[in-house]
Amino acid sequence: PPPPLAPEREHASALSLLAMLQREGRFLDFVQENVAAFPDADVGAAARIVHEGCRKVVHQYLTLQPVLPQAEGDKVTVPAGFDAQRIRLTGNVAGQPPYGGTLRHHGWVTTEVKFPSVSPAMEPRVLAPAEVELA
């Protein structure tokens, strides 16, 4: 068998996705910042920039579909034998399926992943290089 990959190589695709979210949407900068100290208007303005960049990355590399096709707020029936990875029951869970309830979130499933390959020359743990401006 081939030797096991180093942890950073094993997770290179996930780290690459984080790097792309940072590059396009400043995602890591945003989540590492303590936004509680900033006015709501400033957080909202920053969130728009982060959202635009992160949405671009997600749409470029992933094809997503709702797990359930119904609209949020619709009544749904969860049959016996349902897939617990695809449907999470909340609220008053008692008895046996089928269950009737209200769809609170339709969930997401990927139907296609198009990550670029990560060059062995790249250090996948570097999610964003430090930036130094020269005078």
pLDDT of residue 7: 67
Least confident of 58-62, 64-68, 115-119, 131-135: 115-119
CA–CA separation, 20 vs 14, rounded Å? 10
Taking only the tens place, the pLDDT of each residue in 70-129 is 999 999 999 999 999 999 999 999 999 999 999 999 999 999 999 888 888 889 999 999
pLDDT of residue 127: 95
Distance linking the first and last C-alpha atoms of the chain? 53
What number is the average pLDDT over the span 30-57?
Answer: 96
Q: Name the residue ranges covered by the structural domains of the chain.
A: 1-66+114-128, 67-107
Q: Which stretches of the chain are DSSP H helices? A: 7-10, 12-25, 27-32, 40-61
More confident residue, 41 or 9: 41
Single pTM value for the model: 0.81
Q: Which of 108, 64, 67 is nearest to 78 (CA)?
A: 67
In eight-state DSSP terms, residue 116 is P
CA–CA separation, 48 vs 29, rounded Å? 14
CA–CA separation, 8 vs 15, rounded Å? 8
